[in-house]
Amino acid sequence: MMEKIKKNKFLLFVVLIYLILLLSNTEKAIISFKNSGYYIKEMLMIMPVIFVLTALIEAWVPKKMIMEHLGDGSGLKGSFISLLLGSVSAGPIYAAFPVCKTLLKKGASISNIVVILSAWAVIKIPMLANEAKFLSPKFMATRWVLTTIAILIMGYLISKIVRRKDIPMDSEKINDGEIVIKEEYCIGCGICEKLAPNYFKVGNKKAKVVNSKAEQEMEGAIIKAIEKCPTKAIAMGDKKLPREKVGK
């Protein structure tokens, strides 16, 4: 109960204002409610589409294939692929941190990582639909073009400022066969619970490890969960994990 209140404190705050207003100035409360009406209606029309579109992109865009073309010297092609990868991903920018760290370890260049992070933050395709709806298609298109240019320039500049050695690479040691979830990155999607219910459980919008010792026969399911995790928040201490190289 307390958790629920904490998570929705903003909503609670707004509801409280309405209640106070309803008692002190009923007329204004009703006007406010009516003023929200237009935006609620518009949101209801666009939300289901964005919801389905996000799911379809998640299901059909072959991210793994995209990720194989991000190395140093991948040039302009690498930049565009990075732009694409960021644009089709779901979740807030911090959800992209572990994904990008994984890519960096596999050899993706710094400029490409900057492009992915930035694109992930600002130019997600379902969000563009929402922007066009509430501002205007022209507004959205102009901002998209300018932002894309800015992101590509930023990738180039940062790759000149920051060197590979500036980036901490050694992650904390995990014991063999031990499963760990970086909770700050979990978006509560529930894929891991579905794939390996004996090991993961989602509660309070975050996945938790219920059994941290991976048994031999279940390793396949766990590795699948690690690979499918959209924010790469799960790690298992095991040298046998498949490590694909990132090509050029």
172-231 residues in contact with another protein (CB under 8 A) are 184, 187-191, 194, 202, 205, 230
Instruction: Candidates 11, 19, 20, 241: give the one binding another protein (CB under 8 A).
Output: 11
As measured in angstroms, the least distance from the Cβ of 242 to another protein is 22
Distance CA 195, CA 224 (A): 7
Instruction: Candidates 70, 84, 85, 110: give the one binding another protein (CB under 8 A).
Output: 110
**Given the rule CB under 8 A, which of 66-74, 108-116, 217-225, 236-244 is the region that contacts another protein?**
108-116
Q: What is the DSSP letter of 245?
A: P
Instruction: Candidates 59, 73, 217, 242: give the one binding another protein (CB under 8 A).
Output: 59
Q: Is 82 helix (H, G, I), strand (E, B) or coil?
A: helix
Whether the CA torsion 77, 110, 65, 192 is positive or negative: it is negative
Q: What are phi and psi of 103, to 5 degrees?
A: -65, -40
What binding mask, one character per residue, do residues 77-106 give for another protein by CB under 8 A, x or -?
-------------xxxxx--xx-xx--x--
Q: Does 22 bind another protein (CB under 8 A)?
A: no
Cβ atoms 235, 190 nearer than 8 A: no
Distance CA 113, CA 169 (A): 14
Residues listed for the chain: 248
Instruction: Candidates 26, 53, 176, 241: give the one binding another protein (CB under 8 A).
Output: 53
Q: Does 19 bind another protein (CB under 8 A)?
A: no
Query: For the chain, percent helix, then strand, then coil, each to nearest 5?
Result: 65, 5, 30
Query: How many other β-carbons are positioned within 10 Å of the β-carbon of residue 68?
Result: 16
Instruction: Candidates 26, 134, 215, 247: give the one binding another protein (CB under 8 A).
Output: 134
Residues with Cβ within 8 Å of 186's Cβ and at least 6 positions away in sequence, in order, are: 206, 207, 231, 233
Q: Does 34 bind another protein (CB under 8 A)?
A: yes
Q: Of 14 and 241, which has the nearer Cβ to another protein?
A: 14
As measured in angstroms, the least distance from the Cβ of 125 to another protein is 10
Q: Does 5 bind another protein (CB under 8 A)?
A: no
Q: Of 31 and 241, which has the nearer Cβ to another protein?
A: 31
